[in-house]
Amino acid sequence: MSKKRLSGKWLFWGMVTVLAMAAIAFAFRPDPVWVDLAEVSRGPLEVSITEEGKARVKDRYLISAPVSGYLHRVMPEVGDSVSTGQTLTEVDPMPSAILDARSRAEAEAKMESARSALNSAQQKVQAAEAEARFARQELERLESLQSRSDNRFVSEEQIEQARATADRAQAILRSARFDQEVMAHELEAARTRLEVSAARSNGEQPKERVAVTSPVAGAVLSVVRKSEGVIQAGSPIAEVGDPAALEVVIDVLSFDAVKLQPGMEVRFSGWGGPELQGLVRRVEPVGFEDISALGVEEQRVQVVADITSPIEQWQSLGDGYRVDASFILWSAEDVLWAPSSAIFSSDDQSWVFLARDDTVHRQPVQTGQSNGLKTRILDGLKVGDRVVRHPDRQLDEGVRIRAR
């Protein structure tokens, strides 16, 4: 009887000890780690580069002043339609300089001098005409004598000498007439300078004006010089172009630009209208330095793309409008993918923490293309598997978890 009582006593205390140890183990068991879980799915996946771009008119024409003069006010406003050859404004010739008293006296003296020179040239012309007339008559007389039957009084040498004298007289007459014309032009120039000066202007409008016209049909993109005033030849006045012929210019990081090729698909969004389709036309071969919003120096490259969507979808898009351009590097309609935030690397191998019941297990995976949010899974997972997003150092093989 005592043996049975002793065995029961040991059994009781053994059970108490086991329960106590189990309670202590349960009390000191680590709490489960709170995690975010995501399911592995199948669906479309696209890899793209998105940058900010700007729409601009392809062919722009900067209209400049053809001559120096006084520019009249440019009437068309920005956005107004213009036709080929339409006059935008006019340029008057520069007015003559004002003559002071001394300059006027000099101009009058030059005019009188030119008039005297003209009178002298006219007298020389009259003298040359008389000489030429006498030489011609003498030649005709000698030739008349020579034509008679008795040719004893006029020799051939006399005829040649008279002919040379007549030619020389004609040459002197022509020179005198040329001098007369020169003197007449100089007199006219002196008279014009004196009469068409600002000091004697009668307020009449200039007879000659140079019209500034549009070289193409389109719209006014900008007006550089709106108000009237003196303008120098070559100074810009306005810019015109066809707003229906738009292209998009995107500044891309040089690291990403090497992945782009002409003919690559691009989508435009974020401009206030529907998503538009386009194609890359040119990747500039020269880069430039730019400062980011955070003050970081970046090497960027300009990429030019054409809009291929119907113009009805983007007719409200204008020159200088901002757009978001997404270059499609790779796309597929049905692939197995997992969140990129669930994948981590260790020992040159990609891993995920796979959730099973209330614990996690390290699972090696083989990955493919990634767009930063989703990553293609080639091997290691299946549809419906749950993986831990943003795993931290608390997780390890067999660690208990609790989903948020």
pLDDT at 253: 92
The pLDDT score that the predictor gives to residue 203 is: 46
Pairing of strands 33-39, 401-403: parallel
pLDDT at 198 exceeding the cut of 50: no
Alpha-carbon gap, residue 385 to 380, rounded angstroms: 10
Apex 30 CA angle, 27 and 33, nearest 5: 140
Residue 366 above 90 pLDDT?
Answer: yes
Question: What mean pLDDT is predicted for residues 356-368?
Answer: 89
pLDDT attached to residue 238: 92
Q: Tokens 């291929």 — which residue?
A: 308
What pLDDT band is residue 274 in, cutting at 50, 70 and 90?
very high
For residue 225, what are its two tokens? 């010089």
Residue 196 — pLDDT band, cuts 50, 70, 90? low
Other C-beta atoms lying within 10 Å of the C-beta of residue 159: 15
As a whole number of angstroms, the distance between CA 291 and CA 310 comes to 36
CA distance 327 to 321: 19
Strand partners, 70: 92, 230
Give dist(CA 188, CA 64) in Å, integer: 34
Q: Which domains does the chain have, with CATH numbers?
A: 32-58+243-403 (2.40.30.170), 59-241 (2.40.50.100)
CA distance 220 to 234: 19
The arithmetic mean of pLDDT across residues 331-343, rounded, is 91
Residue 345 has pLDDT above 60, yes or no: yes
Residue 353: how many CB atoms within 10 A of its CB? Answer: 24
Determine the average pLDDT of the residues in 138-163.
Answer: 73
CB-CB contact of 324 with 265 (8 Å) = no
Which of 257, 105, 126, 67 shows the shortest CA–CA distance to 194? 105
Average pLDDT of the residues of the chain = 83
Model's pTM, two decimal places? 0.59
3-state SS class at 225: coil
Q: What is the DSSP string of 279-346?
A: EEEEEEEEEEEEE-TTS-EEEEEEEEEEE-S-HHHHTT--TT-EEEEEEEEEEEEEEEEEEGGG-EEE
To 5 degrees, how large is the angle CA 149–CA 153–CA 157? 105
**Would you say 321 and 354 are in contact if contact means Cβ atoms under 8 Å apart?**
no
Mean pLDDT of 5-9: 62
Question: Is 20 a residue whose pLDDT tops 80?
Answer: no
Measure the CA angle with vertex 197, ends 192 and 203; round to 5°. Answer: 110
Supply the pLDDT for residue 305.
94
Res 200: pLDDT: 47
Asked whether 7 and 374 are in contact (CB, 8 A), the reply is no
In this prediction, residue 2 carries a pLDDT of 57
Q: How far apart are CA 254 and CA 303, in angstroms?
A: 10
Judge whether residue 360 has pLDDT over 60. yes
Question: Is residue 65 classed as helix, strand or coil in its secondary structure?
Answer: coil
Tens digit of each residue's pLDDT (9 = 90 or more) over 78-130: 888 888 888 889 888 776 666 667 777 777 788 888 888 888 888 888 888 88
